[in-house]
Amino acid sequence: MNAADPKVDELTGLPTKEAFEKECKALFAHAQESNTPLTLATADIDIFMSVNQEYGHAVGDEVLRVLARTLKDLASEETMVFRYGGDEFILLFPNTSREQAFLIMEQIRAHVEENNTYGDAQVDATISVGIASYPIDGTATDELLRKADQALYRAKGAGLNQVLLAHDEKMIPKTTHYTETQLERLSKLADHFEVTEARLLREALDDLINKYKDP
């Protein structure tokens, strides 16, 4: 029996998070070399847990499959679509400005809102989307992903079922105490990866928040 390909999601047939990380790195390098934009969009289904609870996991799976097809069918031919995990999807738009990507994702959002048939079930599913673009929103892949996630989070907080662009967030100073050993190791990491210590700390905080989610 052949083992499942870890780079292909069995449910939707889309490339997985593992495939995204490889492709994003390659596309980002190309964008830098060619001085062209690369836009990233994160999208997920609004209140997906309630869909599973109300209609059952079989219907929830069908919602995921239909959304995957919708993303593939309505995005441009060059766009790469991934199932990042759970009900979250990521799209990579090579040589595409964030304004162009916004128009595409808004079309997809409207289509999802208007079409509520999933197999034998009628489900009022909607999606929220966050968009970030190189070089205007960030100069590293992890920075783009963080900015897109922040825009997605704002879309959720602003009422769901919408597409929002990344924007610069206000930095708020907060006093925190670390051990001498922690600071030495942080400094070495920053030197090794050629980034600032503040950026590493922000990434670590984002990882912590994503691990435990919102209460």
Structural domains of the chain sorted by starting position, each given as residue range(s) with its CATH number in brackets = 17-169 (3.30.70.270), 170-215 (1.10.1220)
CA triple 155-161-166, angle to 5 deg: 30
The residue type of 181 is T
Residues written for the chain: 215
Please state the rounded mean pLDDT for residues 33-41: 96
What are the pLDDT digits (tens) for 59-93? Answer: 999 999 999 999 999 998 999 999 999 999 999 99
Confirm if 124 and 116 have CB atoms less than 8 A apart: yes
Percentage with pLDDT > 90 across the chain = 68
CB-hemisphere CA count at 13 Å for 25? 5
Catalytic residues: 87
Kindly tell me the burial class for residue 96, based on how many C-beta atoms sit within 10 Å of its own C-beta (0-12, 13-18, 19 or more): buried
Tokens of 36: 């062209």
Please state the rounded mean pLDDT for residues 135-159: 92
Q: What is the mean pLDDT of the chain?
A: 89
Confirm if 66 and 162 have CB atoms less than 8 A apart: no
Judged against a pLDDT cut of 60, whether residue 185 lies above it is answered with yes
Q: Which residues contact 37 (CB under 8 A, 6 or more apart)?
A: 31, 95, 96, 97, 98, 133, 134, 135, 136
Q: How far apart are CA 55 and CA 123, in angstroms?
A: 8
Q: What confidence tier does 192 reach under pLDDT thresholds 50, 70, 90?
A: confident
